[in-house]
Structure 1
Amino acid sequence: MGAAVQGGPGSGPAAPVALRDLLVEVNDLKRVRSAGRQGSIAERLFAQGWGLLTGGASPEDVALDITATALAATRLCDLDAAFLTAAGLSDQAVSEVLVAGFDAVTEAFDPGLRERLRTRLRTRSEAVPGPLPGFVGALAQQPRAGVTCPGRARILLEPPENHAEHCLMVAVYGVALSPFYRADPTTVFLAAMAHHFHNAAMPDAGFTGEMLLGDHLGPIMARTAQWALDELDALLRESVVRARAVLPDDATAEGRAFHAADCIDRVLQIAQHLRAASLTMETVLNDMELVHAGPVKGFHDRVLADMRIP
């Protein structure tokens, strides 16, 4: 997909444009909900990932399982393994549906990573989730700040995403981008899942609030992040601390993959609001076929024409 990025002038592209459309589409998992299920798909996958980690699953397995599940859900939404099984499909049929959903959106993926992720959808995980740390629910309840800039009024776009959704999306993006940067996907995933630990306790006032805190910012962030780390057992906490070491800069391949993912998600979150605001009826009716082909399509078209809709 691409060579390692050095970050200097003339070093080649800083990100793989071939993945752009996929990353735009996956972002909507932060906004897809279903009856009987609490929160968005992204929020639930964030909790699922931490449950698997506290249950003793290896970070590598969790990174691959959660990423594969998220990519399959991009088109299938909550037509997931649990629903398909409950609806009476065999294990083989469930796998075939999930792989079809995954294949529909991952053509631009690195071939090796694509096959590793596809394999996760073909086999049912035997991992047993552990207890959810308190920071999981707290991050799901903590709204993101919106668009902030020191010296300017905040721009709030409703509904806001929460920090659990953002962390999950950055983790999935990080895995997807890791081959381009020759980064370890497990490290990137774990770092992303833990990069807003401080916001489990610290309300998000955005860049503006951080600048107003001045010299107090670093100690407060360190203290509140430690509160979340202290909820993990020693072995998992050590892995998370090691992964979080890539967060401060882009000096490592993992740092570059993480910061690319973080930046992309932050901007795409705002872009989807602007995309919705500029949506046209021509796109809805013609490109997206809102009134789609079927036995009553002709009648539908006449009804809309006679009602002068739109």
Structure 2
Amino acid sequence: MTQAAARPAGRDGEVPGGPLRAAVPLLREIGDLKRVRTAGSGGVSMAERAFCRSWAELVRGGAPDRIAVRACAAAVAGARLAGIDGPVLRRCGLAADEAVAVLERSVAQHADRVGPVTAGLLRGALPDLVEDPDEGPVPGFAAVLCAQPRAGATCPGRPRLMVEPPESHGDHCWAVAVYGVLLAETFDAAPGDVFLLGLSHHLHNAVLPDAGFAGEELLGGHLSAVRARLTRQALADLPPALAACVEPLLALREGVDAPAARAFHAADVLDRVLQVRHHARAAAFTAEQALEELDLVHPCAVSGFHRAVLDAAETG
């Protein structure tokens, strides 16, 4: 690690390379929860479900810091467990402490990817994740953002780069919120502030379809007023106390002076680039990668027979 990367992170506008490089593999795996779906979810991704669940908890009056850490702990556990979350483990017959132990094993695989304070917070939140969460009302904009596709990569004066399937704004906002919590320690930011900012930074897109940077440039001088007007409309769906917490945080999008702003912008740009890299990797994927690197035909009691079948069938 360089001397610059070893200094206290998040001060004087410094970008801490070491912690960011360490976090990227975990962020990439968490981002895949945008593409994980389970039976009975109506086709909604794990990320979108978590996005709506977080808003429901906030509307019920939950503390943002606690909700942020719980959501982040669930995301880190889900990086390897995917749809096997705490409630699923309980429905499979595991006792609460057994379910927590499974979640702990998953989180422990990423212990070296986050700061020590964050790692402790994640472990402490796991016992809260083993029972079905209380259902509650979700703000109208949350469901709409989960149905509103992201534009993808656009550039003024050029055709957009279309990738399928597109992520939703619910996917993206959830990922930015969770990444921001994971990076909060690095930037000396309050996890709850970064989480709220990540969840809410695209409220205007509940009404405004996303045409990306190219579309924003064409809106020109109208963009700022449109964004402000639509954001106020969305905030009106929230309890006044919660809206009063969210609204000033949204101003942090315009700079990087505050620790929460730096953590947010780091999370936002990382998610945008990792999303594009996901599509690039998917387009270049080969069967050999699955067979050789990922052990598609993995060691088991009958793996010898499996390989004999493949050799005889000449599947290559």
TM range, normalised to the smaller chain? over 0.9
Q: Deviations over 1:223-277 (max 9, x none)?
A: 1111110001110111111322321111111111100100000011110111112
Matched with 1:264 is 270
Deviates most, 211-220 or 115-124: 115-124
C-alpha RMSD of matched pairs (Å): 1.9
Distance of 2:169 and 2:18 partners within structure 1: 26
Matched with 1:156 is 162
Matched with 1:224 is 230
CA gap 1:127/1:87 in 2 versus in 1, 3 angstroms: closer
SS of 1:245's partner is: helix
Deviation at 1:306, TM superposition (A): 2.2
CA gap 1:266/1:4 in 2 versus in 1, 3 angstroms: same
Matched with 2:122 is 117
Identity of aligned residues (%): 41
2:37 matches 1:33: yes
Deviation at 1:122, TM superposition (A): 2.3
2:23 matches 1:23: no
Q: Deviations over 1:135-170 (max 9, x none)?
A: 011000100001100000011100000000000000
Distance of 1:182 and 1:225 partners within structure 2: 27
Matched with 1:308 is 314
- Normalising by structure 2, what TM-score? 0.93
Q: Unaligned regions of 5+ residues in structure 2, if any?
A: 1-5
Q: Deviations over 1:20-72 (max 9, x none)?
A: 11111111000001111131110000001001001111111110111111111
Matched with 1:291 is 297
Matched with 1:190 is 196
Distance of 1:117 and 1:202 partners within structure 2: 35
1:79-118 alignment to 2 at 5 Å?
79-118=84-123
Letter in 1 for 2:226: I
Distance of 1:127 and 1:212 partners within structure 2: 43
Matched with 1:240 is 246
Distance of 2:49 and 2:7 partners within structure 1: 32
Distance of 2:269 and 2:12 partners within structure 1: 15
CA gap 1:12/1:20 in 2 versus in 1, 3 angstroms: closer
- Normalising by structure 1, what TM-score? 0.94
Distance of 1:115 and 1:272 partners within structure 2: 29
Match of 2:218 among 205, 212, 218: 212
Match of 2:149 among 136, 143, 147: 143
Letter in 2 for 1:64: V
Letter in 2 for 1:81: G
Task: Assess if the C-alpha contact under 8 Å between 1:57 and 1:127 holds in 2.
Answer: no
Task: Assess if the C-alpha contact under 8 Å between 1:183 and 1:254 holds in 2.
Answer: yes
SS of 1:159's partner is: coil
Distance of 2:112 and 2:15 partners within structure 1: 26
Task: Assess if the C-alpha contact under 8 Å between 1:167 and 1:194 holds in 2.
Answer: yes
1:162-177 alignment to 2 at 5 Å?
162-177=168-183
Distance of 1:4 and 1:287 partners within structure 2: 35
Letter in 2 for 1:258: F
CA gap 1:298/1:14 in 2 versus in 1, 3 angstroms: closer
Distance of 2:67 and 2:84 partners within structure 1: 20
Q: Unaligned regions of 5+ residues in structure 1, if any?
A: none
